[in-house]
Amino acid sequence: MTRRVAVIGGGSSGLACIKSCLDEGLEPVCYESSDDIGGLWRFKENPEPDRASIYHSVIINTSKEMMCFSDFPIPANFPNYMHNSLIMDYFRMYADHFQLTKHIRFNTKVLQVRQRSDFAHSGQWDVETENKDGKTEKHIFDAVMICIGHHCHPNLPLHDFPGIDTFEGTYFHSRDYKTPEEWRNKKAVVIGIGNSGGDIAVELSRVTKQLYLSTRRGAWILNRVGDNGLPLDLHFNRVLDFLQLILPFGVFCGLGERQLNQRFDHALYNLKPKHRLFSQHPTVNDELPNRILSGTVQVKPNICRLQGSSVEFDDGSVVEDVDLVVFATGYRFSFPFLASHVTSVSGNKASLYKYVFPPELERPTLAIIGLVQPLGAIMPISEMQARWATRVFKGCTKLPSVASMLKDVQCKQETMAKRYVSSQRHTIQVDHLNYMDEIAGLLGVRPNIPRLLLTDPRLGLKVLFGPNTPYQYRLKGPGKWAGARQAIFTLWERVAQPMQTRPCDDPKTKRSFMWPLILSAAVVGWAAYVNRNNFPAYLQDPTALLDKMKVYLPAQ
């Protein structure tokens, strides 16, 4: 019998899970509580309870070549950094191409996921659902993949802000922010300098009377545009990752910080944090320095208290007549339909082997997909997790012992605690390349660089020195894609195409005699220096100089 797999959530991770199940001959049934795919990336004017929500202007921070699914490149004419509406277009293309939508049950909420009484033998689950009419149903599944993300439940720490109950203006979490127009000529404070906080501060500053950006720690600010105008994430490769492994952490951070400070001095802009560059999830924002330089954004420390319409900061400064406070203070994740003994969440931490499998289940038939915060794109990581999990469900790949998995979980938690600033934001951090290679190794699709260099040198060099694109993980092993090599070789064409929107002829080069003159002068000068002792004799008898030169001239 074909094994049935319940996929909970129809966002990017859910789509990858449906596709991976189909690739492995499994039967997926996806339950999506809304009426459409897309998850986080589907903009809705009115946020829905327990669902991710974005603002209208959101543009992704990872370039298209680094965020695409590994066997379905984003169209060449799409911009390198895409607006959320284009991301939705891509998801629809992906779902249509692989015929995924027919496996999705829309407007269906999962109420409960429980182990069956014979779980130790069968590994099966009882899944209870409710449709939009309130009708409940129970289903039996051989495996479950949870793909609800970690941006559903806003973290709103009002207890940390004395006097918030007396505030006369408006305050809300960043998930409730949509557009800036209603705050024109108002005073606004944004709390938090993550990616959402930075974006909202910049956008509001274009219309507000004054925007104050409050941050406890400061942040290192990265730019989407890297060297030579290329997307920043296309500069990261395996060589750079190797340097990160061999160089002391402080030295590697120092190199990056020096480069960021060449763009703008973080201390001068009052943004420099106490932590090192790679000790916090970086903030990507192209415009924030410009807004600070123009005075429309003022960087402030943490808020001490609020009183009426005034806001007092830790440095003693007070801003009067504040109309709006936006809490860009992150999110909490949980699995309300899952029993706590299956996997518990405490302090935004969940004990999961490789951030996917609960290590103490008797049968490995539950996988949590996309519960990571990568230094890079989430889509290829979710896809890699899904490919691995479906192979585990089929029994093609085995998990290690419980003791080994628990040791791995503890090791990762300790490593994270040493490296990152203590924060609920830094509980599921992974380095994109290292984590992709780690899971790819378990799946059997990690690129073998030495072998590639011997058998296909051109491809090997591109994999080693080029961007770490998702296509690399379709070159061999389960799920091998015949188009992977071509996708790697044509990457830069897809990067360039959306920017080639007008003819741009190179100016004709004019022949210059400057360099020949310089070289000739240098040769004459050198000859004069070598023969400086004979120079007076040559002046008295120039024929002697000509006789000497004839030696070096071709014979007649």
Task: State the residue for tokens 């309300």.
Answer: 336
CB 292 within 8 A of CB 155: no
Residues 46-93: pLDDT tens digits?
Answer: 888 777 889 999 999 999 999 999 999 999 999 999 999 999 999 999
Give the CA-trace dihedral at 102, 107, 112, 113, to 10 degrees. 20
Residue by residue, what is the 3-state secondary structure of 181-219?
HHHCCCEEEEECCCHHHHHHHHHHHCCCCEEEEECCCCC
Tokens of 320: 């009067």
- The conformation of residue 150, written as its DSSP 8-state character, comes to S
Q: Quote the pLDDT of residue 280.
A: 87
Class of residue 406 by CB neighbours under 10 A (exposed 0-12, middle 13-18, buried 19+): middle
Residue whose C-alpha is closest to residue 109's, from 88, 91, 135, 145: 135
CA distances for 50 relative to 149, 152, 154, 228, 266, angstroms:
11, 5, 9, 42, 37
Q: Which residues contact 103 (CB under 8 A, 6 or more apart)?
A: 7, 18, 22, 28, 29, 30
Q: Quote the pLDDT of residue 509.
A: 61
Residue type, 269: Y
- The conformation of residue 102, written as its DSSP 8-state character, comes to G
Residues 483-515: pLDDT tens digits?
Answer: 999 999 999 999 999 999 998 776 666 666 677
Helix (H), strand (E) at residue 402: helix 402-419
Measured N-to-C along each axis, helices 457-465 and 238-246 cross at an angle, to the nearest 10 degrees, of 50
Residues 138-195: pLDDT tens digits?
Answer: 999 999 999 998 888 899 999 999 999 999 999 999 999 999 999 999 999 999 999 9
**What pLDDT tens digit does each residue of the chain (556 aa) get?**
789 999 999 999 999 999 999 999 999 999 999 999 999 999 998 888 777 889 999 999 999 999 999 999 999 999 999 999 999 999 999 999 999 999 999 999 999 999 999 999 999 999 999 999 999 999 999 999 999 988 888 999 999 999 999 999 999 999 999 999 999 999 999 999 999 999 999 999 999 999 999 999 999 999 999 999 999 999 999 999 999 999 999 999 999 999 999 999 999 999 999 899 999 888 999 999 999 999 999 999 999 999 999 999 999 999 999 999 999 999 988 899 998 889 888 777 889 999 999 999 999 999 999 999 888 889 999 999 999 999 999 999 999 999 999 999 999 988 888 888 776 666 788 889 999 999 999 999 999 999 999 999 999 999 999 999 999 999 999 999 999 999 999 999 999 999 999 987 766 666 666 777 787 777 767 766 766 666 666 666 666 656 665 655 555 5
Tell me the pTM: 0.89
Q: Quote the pLDDT of residue 291.
A: 97
CB 345 within 8 A of CB 150: no
Measured N-to-C along each axis, helices 379-394 and 12-23 cross at an angle, to the nearest 10 degrees, of 40
Helix (H), strand (E) at residue 84: helix 84-97
